[in-house]
């Protein structure tokens, strides 16, 4: 069975979309997924499924979230190979090694608007750096994300797509867990 990584958007952020990771693992196992593991409390799920397409896995995990927790949030699915490819690409390797929590990977649901992406990449963001590859945008924050103009929500709106972000440390942990 293929292994998948499901990235749940906006789960367990403050008081919103609370999901117990043990309860999620149980619900997913009861729904037929195998080898279900979670990483941290922020909606990172590694699982196996006979389903062979990421869209169907995302839909199935989303169905479990709605039915078991009453939460309707985007679920993005990647293969272990896709996550490894992003880690190997590592456009800001020095920053990722020195400050992995300040380098974020924004995983996109669909390809972004090409013109908007070109504008994003050509804009001078000061101390912040941005790079794009396929369905991932990588941002290296010069200081903190909170002081940056490169906020995740603003980027998604600008690119006319949906996505969810993980910091570099989490990306590497997910790659290791796969």
Last residue of a domain, one of 61, 78, 95: 78
Q: Enter the pTM of the model.
A: 0.93
Q: Are residues 87 and 135 in the same domain?
A: yes
Q: In the prediction, which pLDDT does 13 show? A: 62
Q: Are residues 99 and 47 in the same domain?
A: no
Q: In the prediction, which pLDDT does 44 show? A: 94
Last residue of a domain, one of 40, 55, 78: 78
CATH number for 105 = 3.30.70
Q: In the prediction, which pLDDT does 10 show? A: 79
Number of domains, the chain: 2
Backbone angles phi, psi at 177, to 5 degrees: -70, -25
Cα separation of 111 and 17, whole Å? 26
Q: Are residues 111 and 132 in the same domain?
A: yes
Q: In the prediction, which pLDDT does 11 show? A: 77
Domain span at residue 164? 81-177
Q: Is 40 in contact with 27 (CB distance < 8 Å)?
A: no
Q: In the prediction, which pLDDT does 12 show? A: 67
Q: Are residues 87 and 163 in the same domain?
A: yes
Distances (CA, A) of 123 to 82, 118, 127, 150: 27, 9, 12, 11
Closest alpha carbon to 149 in 122, 129, 167: 129
Last residue of a domain, one of 62, 78, 94: 78
For the chain, report the end-to-end CA distance as a whole number of angstroms: 13
Q: In the prediction, which pLDDT does 14 show? A: 63
Tens place of pLDDT per residue across the chain (178 aa): 999 999 998 776 666 788 889 999 999 999 999 999 999 888 899 999 999 899 999 999 999 999 999 999 999 999 999 999 999 999 999 999 999 999 999 999 999 999 999 999 999 999 999 999 999 999 999 988 888 999 999 999 999 999 999 999 999 999 999 9
Q: Are residues 94 and 107 in the same domain?
A: yes
Which tokens go with 73? 């949030």
Q: 16: which DSSP letter?
A: B
Q: Is 78 in contact with 4 (CB distance < 8 Å)?
A: yes
Q: Are residues 155 and 88 in the same domain?
A: yes
């Amino acid at each position: 069975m293929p292994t998948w990584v499901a990235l749940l958007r906006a789960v367990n952020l403050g008081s919103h979309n609370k999901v117990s990771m043990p309860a999620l693992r149980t619900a997913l196992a009861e729904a037929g997924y195998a080898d279900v593991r979670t990483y941290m409390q922020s909606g990172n799920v590694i699982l196996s499924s006979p389903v062979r397409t990421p869209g169907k896995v995302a839909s199935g995990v989303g169905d479990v979230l709605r039915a078991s927790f009453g939460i309707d949030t985007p679920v993005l699915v990647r293969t272990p190979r896709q996550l490894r490819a992003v880690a190997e690409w590592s456009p800001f390797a020095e920053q990722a090694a020195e400050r992995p929590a300040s380098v974020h990977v924004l995983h996109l649901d669909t390809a972004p608007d090409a013109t908007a992406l070109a504008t994003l990449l050509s804009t001078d963001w000061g101390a912040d750096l941005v790079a794009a590859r396929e369905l991932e945008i990588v941002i290296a924050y010069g200081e903190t994300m909170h002081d940056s103009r490169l906020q995740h929500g603003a980027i998604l709106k600008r690119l006319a797509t949906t996505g969810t972000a993980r910091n570099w440390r989490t990306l590497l942990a997910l790659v290791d867990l796969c």
